[in-house]
């Protein structure tokens, strides 16, 4: 019997490889605003601290004011709602791990800085 009763996972980059859908969504926002886009590799350094920080990181330096960041975040949420599950996949072995933990009677939870509505939808899938 395990001495642990529960496991808490992060979502993006731990359970799921979401980087391509995040990058595609934000790049769509940037294109729409007339800003340069970034390659997938760059997004690996841009993500991880919430959408506001992501917007700050991808915007050109001269456009990192509060209003532009807020607008970018809102547009990103709209874009991500359209494509959050196009390329997102669990990492290898994750479904089996979750099944094994469930079979052990382990309680599981997800803690994420992703907006709550997206997190709940993704977990249901």
**Per-residue pLDDT tens over the stretch 38-97:** 999 999 999 989 999 999 999 999 999 999 999 999 999 999 999 999 999 999 999 999
Give the phi and the psi of residue 110 in degrees, each rounded to 5: -120, 130
Burial per residue of 35-66, b for 16 or more beta-carbon CB atoms within 10 angstroms, e otherwise: beebeeeebeebbeeebeebbbbbbeeebeee
Tell me whether residue 10 is one of the annotated catalytic residues: yes
- Torsion sign, CA atoms 48, 49, 54, 58: negative
Cα 125–chain centre separation: 15
Q: What proportion of the chain, given as a percentage, has pLDDT over 70? A: 98
pLDDT at 121 over 90: no
The answer to whether the beta carbons of residues 120 and 54 sit under 8 Å apart is no
Which listed residue (10, 12, 65, 116) is catalytic? 10
- DSSP E strands in 23-85: the ranges are none
């Amino acid at each position: 019997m395990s001495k642990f009763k529960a496991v808490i996972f992060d979502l993006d980059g731990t359970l799921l490889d979401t980087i391509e859908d995040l990058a595609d969504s934000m790049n769509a926002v940037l294109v729409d605003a007339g800003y340069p886009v970034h390659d997938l590799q760059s997004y690996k350094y841009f993500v991880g601290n919430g959408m506001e920080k992501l917007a700050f990181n991808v915007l050109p330096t001269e456009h990192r004011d509060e209003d532009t960041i807020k607008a970018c975040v809102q547009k990103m949420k709209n874009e991500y709602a359209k494509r959050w599950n196009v390329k997102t996949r669990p990492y290898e072995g994750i479904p089996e791990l979750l099944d094994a933990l469930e079979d052990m009677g382990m309680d599981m939870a997800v803690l994420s800085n992703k907006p709550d509505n997206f997190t709940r939808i993704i977990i249901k899938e």
